[in-house]
Amino acid sequence: MITYIIRRLLLAVVILFLVTVMVFFGMRLLPGDPILLLVTSVEAEGLSIEAYEKLRKEHGLDRPMVVQYIDWLGGVVQGDLGNSILRRTPVIDEIMQRIPITLHLGATAYIIGLLVGIPAGTICAVRRGKLIDTIITVLANIGITVPVFWLGIMLIYLFSLELGWLPVQGYTSPFVDFWRSTKQIILPVFCMSVWGVASLTRQTRSSMLEVMNQDYIRTARAKGLTESMIIIKHAMKNGLIPILTLAGMGLAMIIAGSVIIEMVFNIPGIGRLLIGSIINKDYPYVEAIVLIIAATVLLINLLVDLAYGWLDPRIRYG
Amino acid sequence: MASVTDNSKTMVEGPPRVGEWRRFRRVFFGRPVVMFGTVIILLFIICAIFAPLIAPHNPFTTDLSKNLQRPSSEHLLGTDQLGRDSLSRIIYGARTSLLIGFTVVAIASAAGMLLGTLAGFYGGWVYNVIMRLIDALMAFPMILLALVVAGALGEGMRNVLIALSIAMLPVYTRLMCGQVLSVKENDYILASRASGARDWRIMLRHIMPNCFPPLIVLITMMLGMVILTESVLSFMGIGIVPPTPAWGSMVNEGRLYLRSHPILSFAPGLVLMLAVFAFNMVGDGLRDALDPRLRGAL
């Protein structure tokens, strides 16, 4: 078990290293020059070649790319993710300011997904073929299909513009004004949780159905356990193991979804910062954010794999 | 329970191919929602091919004197801010979506098949190099990968195709690799090797055909996913940009006139959802019909 964990950790480090290589060289080899974007945003025209070269030197962009990479990687290992090209401030400062915002929305959406999706899927499996199963299944199939950006816009139209119940967009910290903050996050959190709720419902339904046909469920019935006892103590325990994979995937989907939702609802989270930085070619931001996301996803996947072995004794690590 | 006995009978007595085909038809066409999806997909394909004949107006013709009209018999879904007919743009949008969907799936599945087969067949360092790179790609959520690549490359059809193909590549490679690993253990591979067949012949003639059923399911499911992701890129302004009609960018354009003309955003998004729904349902139907593990249960 210990050797397995160590091996997995080493593998994760290797993958993370490949991620840094891909992101760093991918961004910098593509067309587009951050210095030109920087200059157009500061002083419109009249940039001499000397001044341009000076700016490049200032940001260290004149050095060979491999040297830049090693320098950057050395900083990352020590916790320094570099300085923004446009704003000249350490990128970590702004990222740290924005992470709580994305986390606030994402964690809320994630919890809602679990709290609604698993019971809904279980109800479907238990009441298979009944009306409630059909209704929930159809809703879940629509839920994994609906384009979230469109859903967000339609909800803004209905609840904000037509009915005037909720604010159109924006974000307030819950510690500043809790009521206002909650009203503002209702729609974005709803949009973010739709995919998770729908896919969890589908997955729970199918894996619970599979389990309900097993012999040990028949045994449990035969020894006279109540149906709810069978479902909770016997069926769910095994039926929910495949859900773990989805729980890890759900986190990745929430991260990806936050990029879209933050654009639609104008929320100053990490996703909007990422898109803005990609468009402005502010490499250090893109590299830092992508690295943080990739590291999080790898960590979650590792935890999911370990949890598998803990929950299902049939899985042995070689 | 009756179906279980039926199936085991066909498996033992009848020639397996006939049984499989019959079961495929029964399972696939047996569910109304799958039939619905099939019809919708056919309609979209017809719309995409015959767009110039079906669309009531030219989707590119701007007429500022007729901009932002409400739905009428002349313009069934109204006109946009430049006076272009919204319905015609949606019909031409099917062209954009399907073209991108099929192209990306073709590129990604071909590349994934190649990489996955090589990794699974040769194992060792080939496997390690290919799969570790795929793992690194998989550390990004799919939509995010597409956004980052498309954002870095800039908008336009070619860049969208590249971005989406890269984003979809890991799923296909993983699937193929897993399939090849299990198929290559079969005795007929050993037999073929004993009879002196070369590696490429074993891969092409014996391994790849046996990997097709799950690949077909994945391709159908991914078509919906590709179309959805393309619309996200177009919505954000880093995918297909106007004047080329694309559903995602139409939703985004309509946003500015949301209060007065909600239909401009509503209609293309609804059509997009319908298309993705259809591909997902057909994918589900194919999976149920082709997955050998469900044999007997369905």
Q: B214 pLDDT exceeds 70?
A: yes
| Closest chain B residue to the Cα of A302, Cα to Cα | B139
**Residue A204 C-alpha, separation from nearest chain B C-alpha, in angstroms:** 16
Model pLDDT, residue A45: 56
Q: Residue A46: its pLDDT value, please?
A: 59
pTM, whole model, 2 decimals? Answer: 0.85
Judge: B258–A144 Cβ closer than 8 Å, yes or no. no
Contact: B277, A141; criterion CB under 8 Å: yes
Match 């699974």 to its residue by tokens: B120
According to the per-residue pLDDT averaged within each range, which of A177-186, A220-229, B21-30, B274-283 is highest? B274-283
Q: Is B161 on the interface with A (CB under 8 A)?
A: no
For residues A289-298, give the mean pLDDT: 86
Over residues A3-28, mean pLDDT: 84
What's the mean pLDDT in A48-67? Answer: 75
Q: CA A73, CA A24: separation in Å to the nearest integer?
A: 10
* Whole-number Å distance between alpha carbons of B158 and B150: 10
> What's the pLDDT at A63?
79
Q: How many residues does chain B have?
A: 298
For chain B, report the end-to-end CA distance as a whole number of angstroms.
10
DSSP state for residue B71 in the 8-state scheme: P
Distances (CA, A) of B15 to A199, B9, B20, B22, B221: 38, 11, 9, 11, 30
Q: Is the pLDDT of residue A289 over 50?
A: yes
Each residue of B13-43: b (16+ CB within 10 Å) or e?
A: eeeeeebbeebbeebbeebebbeebbebbee
SS3 content of chain B, % helix, strand, coil (to 5): 75, 0, 25
> A56 pLDDT band (50/70/90 cuts)?
confident
A180 CB contacts (<8 Å, ≥6 apart)?
Answer: A167, A172
Mean of all residue pLDDT scores within chain B: 84
From the list A147, A149, A157, which residue is nearest B262 (CB)? A157
Residue of B nearest to A137 (CA): B33
B10 band by pLDDT with thresholds 50, 70 and 90: very low
Q: Which of A17, A30, A145 is the best mutation test for B, with the most CBs of B within 10 A?
A: A145
In whole angstroms, how far apart are CA B89 and each of A109, A149, A153, B240, B258? Answer: 35, 19, 20, 13, 18
> Is residue A204 within 8 Å of A235, Cβ to Cβ?
no
The residue among B90, B145, B228, B232 with the most chain A CBs within 10 A of its CB, best to mutate, is B232
Q: Mean per-residue pLDDT for B259-286?
A: 90
B-chain residues within 8 Å CB-CB of A297?
A: 139-141
- Chain B contact present for A12, CB below 8 A: no
* CA nearest to B250, candidates B46, B78, B55: B78
| pLDDT exceeds cutoff 90 at A26 | no
Question: Is ipTM over 0.85?
Answer: no
Subunit contact B135:A18, Cβ cutoff 8 A: yes
Instruction: Report the alpha-carbon distance of residue A160 to residue A168 in Å, rounded.
Output: 5
Give, in order, the Cα–Cα distances in Å from A32 to each of A43, A84, A274, B264, B290: 18, 16, 17, 34, 47
For residue B85, the SS3 value is strand
Three-point CA angle A102, A106, A109, nearest 5°: 150
The amino acid at residue B85 is: D
> Minimal Cα distance from B134: which residue of A?
A15
Flag if A22 and B137 touch (Cβ within 8 Å): yes
**Cβ-Cβ contacts under 8 Å, A14 against chain B:** 132
Q: Is residue B148 within 8 Å of residue A278, measured between CB atoms?
A: yes
Which residues, 6 or more positions from B175, have their beta carbon under 8 angstroms from its beta carbon?
A: B112, B116, B214, B215, B218
Percent of chain B residues past pLDDT 70, beyond the cut: 91
Q: State the pLDDT at residue B42.
A: 94
- How far apart (Å, rounded) are the C-alpha atoms in residues A179 and A184? 9
